Structure 1
Amino acid sequence: MNSADPYRSNRADLPRYLEQVPLGRSGVTVGRLGLGTAPLAGLFSAVGADQAAATLDAAWSAGIRYFDTAPHYGAGLAERRLGAFLTGPGHPRTEYTVSTKVGRLLVAGDAAPGDEAFQVDEGLVRVRDYSSAGVYRSLAESLERTGLDAFDTVLIHDPDDHWEEAVREAYPALARLRSEGAVRAIGAGMNQTAMLTRFVRETDLDCVLVAGRYSLLDRTAADELLPLCAERQVGVLVGGVFNSGVLADPAPGATYDYAPAPEAVLRRAQALAERCAAHGVPLAAAALQFPYRHPAVTSVVVGARSPREIAENVDHATREVPPELWDELDALGTDEA
């Protein structure tokens, strides 16, 4: 750690998103605001190489030092772009942390246009593999794609229909890598809470990444997962704070969980936006800051596809949200009617 770097300091005069905080009991520290790299790999719409590099540069200039990626994102494209940036000049390895994921191997094949919502043509298809051998292969290939010497954190990615293989093979493989010092922190990342709760209860994870299940529209993570993580000192990374778009802009045609938002969800999001507007606060600012209110939450991971979106995320992270607005949003957020 470079103590002269102000972004590594927790001085009271720094914006909260620049704080570096412990990730559970792992010894890893992460920024309170992390950058998710899925949009840089063509999620929903293509992003050129120059724009991706400019976005990463804008994030670095804004003080963001935690980056989350995965082989799944653009069939390896996100890892390659992130690695090319971080291994370039001016980015000392001691000044940032990176998480990637295992569970999907990339093999040669023809993917359909827009495969799994990514608008790229990498000549690769994803194959689910949560075996021990799959974990080792996935990490080796991720290291090769990024050019990094190691990852700080590795997450088991979306094992929804693969619990047995994930808990009996992927998790022990990661635990061995952690004990050997090859990986500093291990966890699981999913769009659901039930299996993440089971992971925390039955294994020795350092962290979880819960996407879309702790937001202004969906607070299910607060029922069991977040209290259990607090009890076990497991770090919580929150992604999907905009529920894939509807909480950034609840206009007709907005997406919710990567599909067109149902009319009832759209109405609720618009009601939340109206309350925010009455207080002069963008809905996206409240959506981004909402998870920080829970003491179990370590970091919020937000994607961006342009320098403009980086600037917007930083603005949203630093907006003042009055307590009375939180009260009004809480009332709407718990009303499922």
Structure 2
Amino acid sequence: MLNVGIIGVTGYTGIELLRLLQSHTHIKVKSVFTASYAGQAIAEVYPHLQHQTSLQGEKLNLDEITQNCDLVFMALPHGHAIELIPPLLAAGKKIIDLGADFRLKNQSDYQHWYQHPAAPETLLQQAVYGLPEKGEKENIKNANLIANPGCYPTASILATLPALKADLIDPDDLVFDAKSGLSGAGRTLSLNTHYCEASENVYPYQIAGAHRHTPEIEQELSLIANKKIIIQFTPHLVPMTRGLLVTSYLKLKKLISKEEIYKIYKEIYHKEPFIRLCDHIPQVKHVKGSNFCDIGIQIDARTQRLIVVSVIDNLIKGAAGQAIQNMNLMYQFPENFGLNSNMVMYP
């Protein structure tokens, strides 16, 4: 039995992680830590977990973690994991960081985008970017530190990877139009996610290359293409709780059929348990509550563009579910353990 701990359990990502782990037969959640609700039963803070967990939130205690846990999930805002991780690694613990502190490999990039000192170079190079379908599974299996990808990068990279690998598209003309539910903004109160502001409203934010997920997408696509890539990325908030949709506009080098492109995507993804290639245009309701990424493709012959629509549940494949998928690979459990029982919730 694998003993795990969660630091930052009472944010939306942390509590979703705890919920999903309840159905994993190979792990036991030993300790959960929260700055906001220390001393309170988790089921009191989140009543939907009544009769599912008796855990109590605790103040952070690294000694307790080193004594009781083999693996630690960190679900903290950026900047908070950097100081916690070195002593845990030194104690022989494995770590999956669901925050942003280890996603960007370049220290100056992190400092520019997050306005916070970056992690030490040695740790950045040690961290493995945890997107299994990108071809990282062997690296994930051997890793001690996983940088769990962001939600927008997950959907954007998975939509683009096969076309980029097959050299079908112009890497200098990549446009991503993204929409996310409000849970992606976190649990902290803000004006933009206030009901009266968000209800019956859709609006872009952090546009013109200002969103922090932009360099993450560029970094990973650049590694795939083996050249520097600059993208156009525009995120929007939409009035739903969870779900994320990315429409990717990719300029084809030459016009080919939808059937040929579908075959290329299938060749790359046919062994991936959480990628579903669709013969229709997917919707966020098709993946809600699951770890699936649904992908649909269309060709616009007039503009010679490949249009790829990818959808995920931002809290699962975009965060907690992907973290569990990475854990399964690290410990050589079946990749879908703890995730297949969470079927799509519809409608």
* Same fold (TM > 0.5): no
More strand by share: 2
Is the helix fraction higher in 1 or 2?
A: 1
TM-score by length of structure 2 reads 0.31
